Structure 1
Amino acid sequence: MMVTSKDTVMAIKSYRSQAEVLVKSYLFADPFIPYTSVLGGIVACKVVYDLTQLLSTFYTKAYCGLTKLQRTEWNNRGMSTIHAVFISAMSLYFVFWSDLFSDRRHAGYITLQSSPLSIFALGVSVGYFISDLGMIFWYYPSLGGMEYVIHHSLSAIAVAYSMLSGEGQLYTYMCLISELTTPEINMRWFLDISGMKRSTAYLVNGVVIFLAWLGARVLLFMYMFYHIYVHYYEVIQMSTFGCLVVFVVPAVLYVMNLMWFAKIIKGLKKTLAKRQ
């Protein structure tokens, strides 16, 4: 029996329809979104890690001269940069542009609002934190000391709880906007390890880090605390653990942000002094 091109096209369309049904019915069905998104985040981290290694080997001269551990950190920072771009973009969208957490658009409490897309984005972020924590523990303390373990652990717990419960997602996304500073921090490391510490790019990067950190990790957190105060009645409608997450985790992260900010100011002053 001859198989015509028309039959082939029909078969392809049939397989594609079945695949779309599978994705919509299972992978992106509401009950499965948290689990598929976390798994997707972990897989995406592995793919980005390998792509960073592959592209850096062929297109970055400095990469080939690094030690094995330095190459591992280079790839890890490539992975964290892509996650930071993704989750900070999603966070900015949900906090400032989406109507999901709008006081005027919803009759219910903003602390209990969520959507399939907001759950999916948080799940991808959980997958990243799990992957990065695994690498930190495996290479401890080469990829980060105890402060990184505390930061990532608190972030993973808070984001996972918000994803699974649907509670406090607005404040979770406000905290995740702080990932805006990650690409700049990673770029500083890339420039340093590539022998460009005395370059103009290194100085400009330091200024950008200062401004981004001030905005995303200091001022924005102050606004979040004010927002929690104004919406206190809605916050206490959450579960006890949810309230604990909203009140404690941002406070701890804020203290850590201030400590790191002090180091950033000190480093920037030192760099500027050398330029004079």
Structure 2
Amino acid sequence: METRELAIVASSFVGFQLLFYGVSPLLSSIITKGYGVLPSSKHCEWNSRLVSTIHALIVGLLCLYILWFDDAVNADPVWGDPSLVKVNVAITSGYLIYDLVLLACNWSTMGDSFFVCHHLAALYAYSYVLTRGVLPYFANFRLISELSTPFVNQRWFFEALRYPRSHRLVVANGVAMAVVFFLVRIAVMPPYYASVVATFGTPAFERLGLGAQVAWIVSCVCLDILNTVWMYRIARGCYKVLTGAPSSKAKGPDSERNKQNHVNNHTD
């Protein structure tokens, strides 16, 4: 990994730590009165999700810029100039490391094995981008998924603030979350894998070597299995909200709010 990328990863890690411990509590208490009355156990995940939303907006917008305007990457998806993609991936890698540390420190309240698998698979794949500069188009394409993260986090914010599920804002966000999540994580699978298959057997693909090839394909498959699981959870929750169906696992008015198995609020 070059010095620049390593510096971006480290800066990203430190920056997200500062957002979590300093900016988020102050900003949340000013903007949302309900933040101050939440139990302390909720503050940690609230701050985590606000940081997640900020990360998603930064990386998601940069991802779209690269897809639309970076001709070198789009012309050669396997070996195109990875300079700007490396910046985006380095920011995300710093965020993923920060989030893994946060999960480890707060495992009893925030721990989720899906999260850990997701983060490790992503870091494994992105390490090839940062160290060898390979697969810039495909690495950046995976980050389209970040565009669904703000809606996922907003769902949790509404639940933490005890908005009723029938509230129009909750319903609107739930529908938007399901639609956007499907578009950026599920609907993109066919064209993505069509592009992947199109590289098989080409000189550019052979130059990658077995290690990069396995890391690329295996990590993508693992991440998309997780995305499919999360899509199922979202679709089921959206259906219940739209139809007013009660949760089959509910044991009290707060049971759903206290559950920790929310859809992943992070990145591919």
Is contact 2:2-2:131 (8 Å) kept? no
Partner of 1:35: 6
Structure 1 residues 116, 197: closer, same or farther in 2, change over 3 A?
same
Partner of 1:191: 158
1:233-248 equivalences in 2 (<5 Å): 233=202, 234-248=204-218
Shift of 1:40: 1.3
Shift of 1:70: 0.6
Is contact 1:177-1:216 (8 Å) kept? yes
Select which of 157, 170, 195 maps to 2:124.
157
Q: Distance in 1 between matches of 2:216 and 2:122?
A: 11
Shift of 1:83: 0.7
Shift of 1:141: 4.2
Specify the code of the residue in structure 2 equivalent to 1:41.
S
Percent identity, please. Answer: 24
Q: Distance in 2 between matches of 1:141 and 1:114?
A: 43
| CA root-mean-square deviation | 1.7
Match status 1:211 vs 2:183: no
1:2-81 equivalences in 2 (<5 Å): 31-49=2-20, 50-81=22-53
Partner of 1:84: 56
Shift of 1:209: 0.9
Structure having greater relative contact order (Cα 8 Å, sep ≥ 6) = 2
Match status 1:176 vs 2:143: yes
CA displacement, residues 236-267 of structure 1 (integer Å, 9 cap, x when unaligned): 32122211122111111111111111111111
> 4+ residue runs of structure 1 moved beyond 6 angstroms?
none
Partner of 1:249: 219
Q: Distance in 1 between matches of 2:185 and 2:71?
A: 24
Is contact 1:111-1:170 (8 Å) kept? yes
1:107-186 equivalences in 2 (<5 Å): 109-186=76-153
Provide the secondary structure at the position in 1 that maps to 2:71. coil
Q: Distance in 2 between matches of 1:176 and 1:110?
A: 15
Partner of 1:263: 233
Runs (5+) with no aligned partner, structure 2: 246-268
Specify the code of the residue in structure 2 equivalent to 1:66.
L
Specify the code of the residue in structure 1 equivalent to 2:115.
Y
Shift of 1:208: 0.6
Larger Rg: 1
CA displacement, residues 206-238 of structure 1 (integer Å, 9 cap, x when unaligned): 111111111110011221101011122233321
Specify the code of the residue in structure 1 equivalent to 2:99.
D
Partner of 1:228: 196
TM-score by length of 2: 0.85
Q: Distance in 2 between matches of 1:197 and 1:167?
A: 47
Shift of 1:148: 0.6
Q: Distance in 2 between matches of 1:121 and 1:261?
A: 25
Is contact 1:33-1:119 (8 Å) kept? no
